[in-house]
A and B are shown apart, each in its own frame.
Chain A
Amino acid sequence: MKDPATQVSRRGLMKNLIASDRPKRYAMVIDTRRCIGCQACTVACKSEFSVPLGESRSWVESIEKGNFPDVGRNFLPRLCNQCEKPSCVSVCPTGATYKRDEDGVVAIDEEICIGCKYCMHACPYGMRYLHPNTGSVDKCDFCLHRVEQGVAPACVNTCQGYARIFGDINDPSSAVSKMLETNAVSVLRPAMGTEPMVFYIAADSSDERYAERTGVYVRVETNRRQQKRV
């Protein structure tokens, strides 16, 4: 009674409907105006992956500046930029780290990784760390294990200001696409040529050089073991 022609299931139909064979490109837009520096995302990420103390996959920096009484404090959430031209991938001797075709996430195969740390030095953003348990390098992967099940990444899910917007920029109707169309965005360290997929609205790039030049107090805190911002 089964007609082979009707064997093609609904699943195939669905795939056709959703951007057909075109791959996804996961990206994030972070609107720092909505970030209140509560660190819920930092702890969410830490606990989701039981990240060892002393390392972080995602964190929030604070930038305090001004002269009394005109003082401000801004926040800068950080995570792996899942770059289009990742320096880490280009230096990996074993091919353990690679950019996934299906969604653009830069992944690490910990079975292959030999822990040479070349990628850690190559990353202009300080996003990678050596995991003490596995001896391999680890980093943020946009919570693929959640995303594949249709659940938002841990940091996005918990953000009370809705400052982190996540989705597929290859889909013009996605929230990230719409935000990119209508807002002025910047990326971190564009001169490095890595083409990050994390875009910021109102990122505060003040640093010590700015402070020296203008005589304004600037304090940048990473809020983690690595005290210097990368």
Chain B
Amino acid sequence: MAVAGRWAGLGVLGAVASFAGAMMAPDQFYRGYLIGYMLVLGFTLGSLALLMLGHLTGGNWWMIGRRVMEAAVGNLPLLTVLFLPIWYGRHHLYIWLDPAYVQTHLSVASKSGYLNDQFWTIRAVIYFALWNLWGWALRRGSRRQDDDSSPAVWQKLKTWSAPGILVYGLTITLASTDWVMSLDPTWYSTIYGMFFIISEMLAVMALLIVVLCSMRTSQPYDKILGPDKLHDYGKLMLAFTMVWAYFSFSQWLIIWAGNLPEEITWYLYRIHGGWQTVALTLVVLQFALPFLLLLSREIKRDARKLVPLALLVLVMRYVDIYWLVAPSPFPGISGAEHHLTYHWTYLAALLALLGLWMGAFFRQLGGQPVLVVTEPMLPRLWEQSHGH
């Protein structure tokens, strides 16, 4: 596919620039790489979660977007490899790996049973092993469904999905703690894992809208992706936008009300030194604007209006992760002296990660039937373009 090639080309260009960035400015580069990595990891893990959810609950929107999500899940081996730079550059990212820092911070020292180099690495290996296992099982079952309509295959996918949702919930909570929350090891938030789960699902919903609508004029989508189906996607994106705001606000309100030094500093870093512009942008463009626009029935049913909105959501997903990661204290720089920056290596890392991810994604999307034809509920998409 030409699209896959163009993205992969962009990814290779970005990778070359990233390599130069890693040599010239490793401190900045690894931060930018972590931001970009959490974005594309979110596309894949969010797809994995929604895929399993769909196996258990079904739904028209899910049948239409299923193979798109499976292509995203197929990027798990790629993401496993792309995690290596984070592992390699971990000493540029995590101050709790610095013994001198730990000695002077009692609360961090007391966490060293969990936050230490070996255990952190072992946990990362476990996360990727579990994600790859589930990704592989779900995709293999799905491919078998292409020419085997027996309920046993279908049932097996359900059997994988039910515990898989639990595994996803636990691993993403721990992984987001290990890779992002621990950037500021004195701070903690108990809603952090939930926040990552909902952020990933929001990103996947926006990605599904963009990808499916780009194929809207070709078969079979011209027959099945009518305004009523777009309406479903719009409603789900509205719901996830609201839950994102709900979790973000819950975390902020509790910490604001407590006003404890070890908690509130996390926000102080992020609403001073220029970061307040980013915070305000998130409130307006990740919540207020999409929320108000998505209330409209017309916008949810019209691809020409829904796609730009989904693109905005995707851009804001990146901005949100940037706001979570970049103002943190890093080895050599404390949170308080960390003013608003966007280093060129951040962009290089983003291009590399997004390009490679999209290239592999479109290649897998093109290499399989776009619908699972043995899906028992599939004929419904055609015979009932009306009704529910």
Chains A and B are bound partners = no
A contact set with B: CB distance below 8 Å: none
**Residues of B in contact with A (beta carbons under 8 Å apart):** none
